[in-house]
Structure 1
Amino acid sequence: MDDLRLDRRGGLPPHLRVLAARYPRGMWTGHPNFSGLTSFWLDRHLMFRGLQARLEREAASFLDGDNDGRAFGRAVQRLGGTFVSQLHGHHQIEDLHYFPMLAAKEPRLQAAFDLLDADHHAIDPMLHALAGDADALLAALAAGQPAGLAAGAFHDRLRGFARLLDRHLADEEEIVVPVILEHGDRGLG
C-alpha cells in the first residue's frame, strides 16, 4: 500500500482500474449513464485545476515584477481562499456521502475508495501549509514589506502541490466515473 501513496504513485494499479478499462475516458460523455451530476463533478475538478494554475501564474507574474503587490494580494485572497475552502469542502462531501454510496454500488473497488480517502487525508495538511504560506505572503504585502521570499515559497508550494492534485483528481475520475457509468447515479444526488 505504501507504493500507492499519493506522492509515490504514477497512476492506478490494474486491480483498481477494473471498470476504467471497460469505460475509457474517451467514451464517458457519450454513455447513457453520463449525467448532469457526473458533468458537474468533473467541472469541479476542472475548476480546481484552473484555480491552482491561475494562482501559480499570478505568483510567477509577481515574482517577475509584472504584477503589483496590491493586485497580487487581492488575487491570492480571492483565488486562494476559494481554492482551499472549495477543495476541502469537496473532499468532505466525497468522503462522507459519495464514496460510501459508490463503494456500496461496486464493492470490489472498496480499496480504490479507501485510497482516495487516504489521498484526502494526505492533501489536507498540504492545504493547511498552502494557506499558511498565503497568510505569510498577505501579511508581508499588508505591512509593505518585501514579499519576494514569501511569494517564492507560495509559488514553490503551489508547483509541488499541482502534480499531487492532478494525480489525485485523475485517479479519482478513473474510479468514480466508471462506477457511475456502470451503475448509474440513482441515489447519489
Structure 2
Amino acid sequence: MSDPDLSLHARSGLPEALRVLVEEIPRDAWQAHPDFGGLVAFWLERHLLFRRLLATLEADVQALIDGQIPFEVYAPRLSRLGGLLVNELHGHHQIEDQHYFPLLARFDPRIGAGFDLLDADHQALDGLLNDMATAANAALAGGAPGRLADHLDGFGRMLHRHLEDEEEIVVPVILKTGFGG
C-alpha cells in the first residue's frame, strides 16, 4: 500500500471506494442477515476477544499505576493476558492473510484494494505488537508501567481502527456471497 493517507496510523476510517459493500449491507443489518452466524459470528467473536483482552490489559496497568493492585498480582496477569493477546492476534492475522483474504478478495473486485489495506495493517500491527511486548517485558522486569500504558494506548487506537475497518470489508463480503455458510 503506497498511499500514506491510508496507512493504519493516518486514516480515520475506510475510504469511500472501499465502503461500497458496507453501504449495501450496513453494520446494523448484519445480525438480521440470513447468512449471519457461522464464520461471521466467529470472526466478530474473535475481534471481541481482542478488544476485551486489550481493555483488561489497559485497566490492569492503570490499577497498578494507581496502587490498586500489587505488582505480585499484576505481573502474572500481564504475562498471561499479554501473551494471549499477542499470540492470538498473530495467529488470527496469519490465517486471514494466508487463507481467508485471498479467497474473499475474488468475490468482489470493487474491494480488492481493501484486502491490500488490511494486509498492510497486519504488518503495521506486527511492529506495534513487538513494541508492546518489549514494553510489557520491561514492566515485568520492574520498569515503569507508565511506558506500557502509553504503548497499550497507542496500540489500542490502531487495533480498534483496524478491527472496525476489517469488519466493514470482510463481513459484508461474507454476507453477500454466503461464503461463511
Structure 1, gaps ≥5 residues long? 141-146
Report the counterpart of residue 177 of structure 1 in structure 2.
171
Looking at structure 2, the residues matched to 95 and 57 of structure 1 have their Cα atoms a distance apart, in angstroms, of: 31
Question: Quick one: distance in 1 between partners of 2:155 and 2:138?
Answer: 18
- Aligned partner of 1:133 among 132, 135, 140: 135
Q: Are 1:5 and 2:7 matched, yes or no?
A: yes
Runs ≥4 residues deviating over 4 A = none
- After TM superposition, give the deviation of residue 37 of structure 1 in Å: 1.2
Q: How many residues align?
A: 179
Structure 2 partner of 1:156? 150
Question: Which one-letter code corresponds to 2:68 in the other structure?
Answer: D
TM-score (norm 1): 0.92
Residue 26 of structure 1 is aligned with which of 13, 28, 36?
28
The answer to whether the Cα contact below 8 Å between 2:35 and 2:180 also exists between their aligned partners in 1 is no
Per-residue deviation, residues 55-79 of structure 1 (Å, max 9, x unmatched)? 0000000000011011100110111
Q: Identify which of 55, 61, 64 aligns with 1:62.
A: 64
Cα distance in 2 for residues equivalent to 1:156 and 1:115: 25
CA apart distance, 1:186: 5.3
> CA-atom RMSD, angstroms?
1.1
% of aligned pairs identical?
53
Q: Distance in 2 between matches of 1:92 and 1:44?
A: 14
In 2, Cα distance between the equivalents of 1:175 and 1:91? 15
Structure 2: which amino acid aligns with 1:152? Answer: G
In 1, the alpha carbon distance for the partners of 2:127 and 2:14 equals 23
> 1:38–1:49: structure 2 CA closer, same or farther, 3 Å change rule?
same
Q: Which residue of structure 2 lines up, in the alignment, with residue 166 of structure 1?
A: 160
State how far apart, in whole Å, the 2-side matches of 1:133 and 1:183 are: 42
Gapped regions of structure 2 (runs ≥ 5): none
